[in-house]
Chains A and B, each alone.
Chain A
Amino acid sequence: AQSVAQPEDQVNVAEGNPLTVKCTYSVSGNPYLFWYVQYPNRGLQFLLKYITGDNLVKGSYGFEAEFNKSQTSFHLKKPSALVSDSALYFCAVSSNTNAGKSTFGDGTTLTVKP
């Protein structure tokens, strides 16, 4: 069975400060890791993914994430937060052994204050 943990329900940061949204995972086989963002009353939008290769991946809107195999983590980061980054963020995992099924974390609400 595969699973994703997002240990923080809520993350609050000041505009201009760096932000981190945490994600750890458990999966059989090679992990495929994704971050999505959901704005109120909208569908989820893809931000970035790790499949293979460089552990640091860059995505949309200045976000990046680092795959850490030993810590089974895939934390989302941004050097300088914007108020418009405030949203619900989901980490998801699938693998090469599970027929493409993505399991989502419970989500982390990011609030960026001016």
Chain B
Amino acid sequence: DTAVSQTPKYLVTQMGNDKSIKCEQNLGHDTMYWYKQDSKKFLKIMFSYNNKELIINETVPNRFSPKSPDKAHLNLHINSLELGDSAVYFCASSQGAPTNTGELFFGEGSRLTVL
């Protein structure tokens, strides 16, 4: 039973389109995250939610909009896709309050390719 699951695993789309990536965790964690891994494998945090409340919002274009309908789900919607958005997007979760000491549990990633 997958702990952190993301869909879709692969996404190929044209510039200017809008797309969404969904994430669900069954670990009972309070905090969920979106990370972006670029072509050089560098990993950057984008957003974090704790109990459906946005707590971390890095310098990300407002074309990216996270939504957390409940604490087990964190979705990412991207408007007007650009070539530079091509990356692997990882969802993660962790236990405890925002100042937690818990490790991150990552999904398998969603590879987005913008043509």
Contacts and interface: CB of A to CB of B under 8 A. Distances in A.
A88 interface: yes
Interface in A84-103: 88, 90, 92, 96-103
Contact of B108 (A36, A42, A103): A42
Interface string B51-63: 0000110000000
Interface size class of A (residues with CB under 8 A): 20 to 34
A44 B6 CA distance: 14
For chain B, give the interface size range: 20 to 34
Interface string B7-49: 0000000000000000000000001000000001111110010
A46 B106 CA distance: 9
A45 B43 CA distance: 14
Nearest to A90: B43
B109 A99 contact: no
B1 interface: no
For B4, B99, B105, the residue with the greatest tally of chain A CB atoms inside 10 Å of its CB is B99
A79 B51 CA distance: 41
Contacts of B92: 44
Nearest to A107: B41
Contact of B103 (A34, A88, A97): A34
Given A100-B94, A100-B99, A44 B48 contact: no
Interface of B: 4, 31, 40-45, 48, 50, 55-56, 90, 92, 94, 97-101, 103-109
Give 9 nearest A-B pairs by CB, closest first: A43-B106, A46-B103, A104-B43, A100-B98, A44-B106, A99-B98, A51-B101, A43-B108, A100-B100
21 contacts: A32-B101, A34-B103, A34-B104, A38-B41, A43-B90, A43-B109, A44-B106, A46-B103, A46-B104, A88-B41, A96-B99, A99-B55, A99-B98, A100-B48, A100-B55, A102-B45, A102-B104, A104-B42, A104-B44, A106-B40, A107-B41
Given A34-B104, A41-B109, 7 more contacts: A43-B109, A44-B104, A99-B48, A99-B55, A101-B48, A102-B45, A104-B42
